């Protein structure tokens, strides 16, 4: 039903037959009336025939407005972002980097998440600006977060940093499944660290197990967040410091130094044992081999002498006198062979009993010795 313009009534609009709902509408504010009047004048300029605003004019306005509204649904997603499309608040899908489209407000909405950015959360300490220096920050300890009970009922002061990011595969879980995502990650990190510290002893935490704690906490955090369907990836857990409480830190350092000295002395003793024991074993093996060689040599000599005696005895039984004389002569030769000798002939014709002896071997050996000198 067309609307009729009564110019004599201050430019106000009245329905021709009581309005489309059978009621007389109230007069709009003056500013709105002026806006409608100017819009009507401009519309008349390009409408065919320049006539009054009718159903076609309203339809054209609606179409133009609808086109502008639909075109406003285009949006751009950055290279490090993921867009989450929603229709009437309900999640309908995600979009990657580039130009994308979703129905505009109030029907649709887009939530952009920076899925490649790395976020860090400090546990056990914080930072605040130093009022004495412009722009400088100082570390502030938070004992309510850092003090943890160990498995042997001691207290450890643990400060660490958690590095995390939004899961690019499931960013909708991050956006819709949990609230206060940063606080949730912090609470899970503190809980996981307390559980891991509660299974360890204070001395191992301060010395050997520091590198074991980090992956254990990271794995436990990821498991808990996956159960929450939080859409968060834990990239790294970094221990900043693991110390006893400040009141007893000096005593613990003395104990740690003593343990280090103990380990050093143990290592030195093991190195000495590793050097001495092989030497002793080598000497023992050499002595055993020498004894075994001496035994074999002695047995062989004794066996040879026994065999030689048996052979001589066999010959002696065959010719006792000849064998006896031969043994005597060989013995005298062996005994007197290297000695100076004087031979006395008692049966000589002149009766002197002395036989001159010319040691030819000695005479031939002396000139040779003199030539060498």
Q: What is the pLDDT along the chain (373 residues), one digit of tens a residue?
A: 344 344 444 444 444 444 444 444 444 445 656 766 676 666 566 555 544 446 777 787 888 888 888 887 788 887 888 888 888 888 888 888 888 788 888 888 888 888 888 999 999 888 776 666 566 677 788 888 889 988 888 888 899 999 999 998 889 888 888 888 899 999 999 999 999 999 888 878 877 777 889 999 999 999 999 999 999 999 999 998 888 877 777 777 787 788 888 989 999 999 999 999 999 999 999 999 999 999 999 999 999 989 988 888 888 888 888 888 888 888 888 887 777 766 666 665 555 555 566 666 666 655 555 555 4
The answer to whether residues 157 and 206 touch, using CB atoms and an 8 Å cutoff, is no
Q: Answer left, alpha or beta for residue 124, where phi above 0 means left and psi between -120 and 50 means alpha.
A: left
Strands 108-114, 119-123: pairing is: unpaired
pLDDT of residue 9: 40
What does the H/E/C string look like for the chain? CCEEECHHHCCCEEECCCCCCCCCCCCCCHHHHHHHHHHHHHHHHHCHHHCCCCHHHHHHHHHHHHHHHHHCCEEEECCCEEEEEEECCEEEEEECCEEEECCCCCCEEEEEEECCCCEEEEECEEEEECCCCCCCEEEEECHHHHEEECCCCCEEEEEEEEEEEECCCCHHHHHHCCCCHHHHHHHHHHHHHHHHHHCCCHHHHHCCCHHHHHHHHHHHHHHHHHHHCCCEEEEEEEEEEEECCHHHHHHHHHHHHHHHHHHHHHHHHHHHHHHHHHHHHHHHHHHHHHHHHHHHHHHHHHHHHHHHHHHHHHHHHHCHHHHHHHHHHHHHHHHHCCCCCCCECCCCCCCCCECCCCCHHHHHHHHHHHHHC
The answer to whether residues 167 and 231 touch, using CB atoms and an 8 Å cutoff, is yes
Nearest CA-CA partner of 126 in 115, 114, 111, 137: 137
The phi and psi torsions of 313 (rounded to 5 degrees) equal -65, -40
The answer to whether residues 157 and 244 touch, using CB atoms and an 8 Å cutoff, is yes
pTM value is 0.52
* CB atoms inside a 10 Å sphere around CB 61: 13
Judge residue 12's burial from the number of C-beta atoms within 10 Å of its C-beta, 0-12 exposed, 13-18 middle, 19 or more buried: middle
pLDDT of residue 353: 56
Tokens of 96: 């990657």
pLDDT of residue 354: 58
* Neighbouring-strand partners of residue 5: 13
Distance CA(368)–CA(373), nearest Å, equals 9
The answer to whether residues 52 and 43 touch, using CB atoms and an 8 Å cutoff, is no
Domain map (residue ranges) of the chain: 3-71, 74-114, 119-244
Distance CA(239)–CA(216), nearest Å, equals 12
pLDDT of residue 134: 60
pLDDT of residue 287: 93
Distance CA(193)–CA(121), nearest Å, equals 14
C-alpha 127, offset from chain centre: 27
Selected from 3.30.420.250, 1.10.287.130, 3.40.50.300, 3.30.479.30, the CATH number assigned to the domain covering 119-244 reads: 3.30.479.30
pLDDT of residue 358: 61
Distance CA(289)–CA(279), nearest Å, equals 15
pLDDT of residue 3: 40
First to last CA, the chain: 155
Strands 108-114, 81-87: pairing is: antiparallel
pLDDT of residue 236: 93
């Amino acid at each position: 039903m067309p609307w009729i313009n009564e110019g004599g009534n201050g430019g106000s609009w009245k329905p021709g037959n009581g309005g489309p709902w059978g009621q007389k509408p109230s007069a709009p504010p003056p500013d709105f009336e002026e806006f409608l009047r100017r819009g009507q004048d401009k519309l008349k300029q390009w409408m065919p025939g320049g006539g009054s605003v009718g159903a076609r004019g309203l339809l054209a306005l609606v179409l133009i407005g609808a086109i502008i509204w639909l075109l406003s649904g285009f949006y751009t997603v950055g290279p490090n972002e993921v867009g989450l499309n929603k229709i009437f608040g309900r999640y309908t899908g995600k979009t990657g980097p580039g130009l994308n489209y979703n129905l505009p407000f109030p029907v649709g909405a887009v939530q952009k998440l920076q899925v490649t950015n790395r976020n860090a959360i400090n546990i056990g300490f914080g930072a605040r600006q130093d009022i004495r220096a412009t722009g400088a920050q100082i570390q502030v300890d938070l004992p309510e977060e850092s003090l943890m009970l160990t498995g042997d009922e001691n207290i450890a002061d643990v400060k660490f940093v958690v590095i995390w990011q939004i899961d690019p595969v499931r960013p909708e879980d991050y956006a819709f499944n949990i609230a206060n995502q940063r606080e949730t990650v912090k609470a899970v990190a503190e809980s996981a660290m307390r559980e891991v510290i509660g299974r360890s002893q204070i001395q191992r935490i301060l010395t050997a197990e520091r590198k074991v704690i980090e992956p254990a906490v990271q794995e436990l955090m990821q498991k808990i967040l996956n159960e929450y369907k939080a859409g968060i990836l834990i990239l790294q857990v970094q221990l900043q410091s693991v110390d006893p409480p400040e009141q007893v830190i000096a005593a613990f350092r003395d104990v740690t130094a003593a343990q280090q000295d103990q380990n050093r002395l143990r290592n030195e003793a093991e190195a000495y044992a590793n050097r001495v024991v092989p030497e002793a074993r080598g000497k023992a093996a050499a002595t055993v081999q020498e004894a075994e060689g001496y035994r074999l040599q002695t047995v062989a000599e004794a066996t040879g002498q026994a065999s030689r005696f048996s052979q001589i005895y066999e010959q002696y039984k065959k010719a006792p006198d000849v064998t006896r004389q031969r043994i005597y002569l060989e013995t005298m030769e062996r005994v007197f062979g290297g000695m100076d000798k004087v031979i006395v002939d008692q049966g000589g014709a002149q009766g002197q009993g002395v036989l001159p002896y010319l040691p030819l071997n000695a005479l031939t050996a002396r000139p040779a010795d003199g030539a060498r000198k």
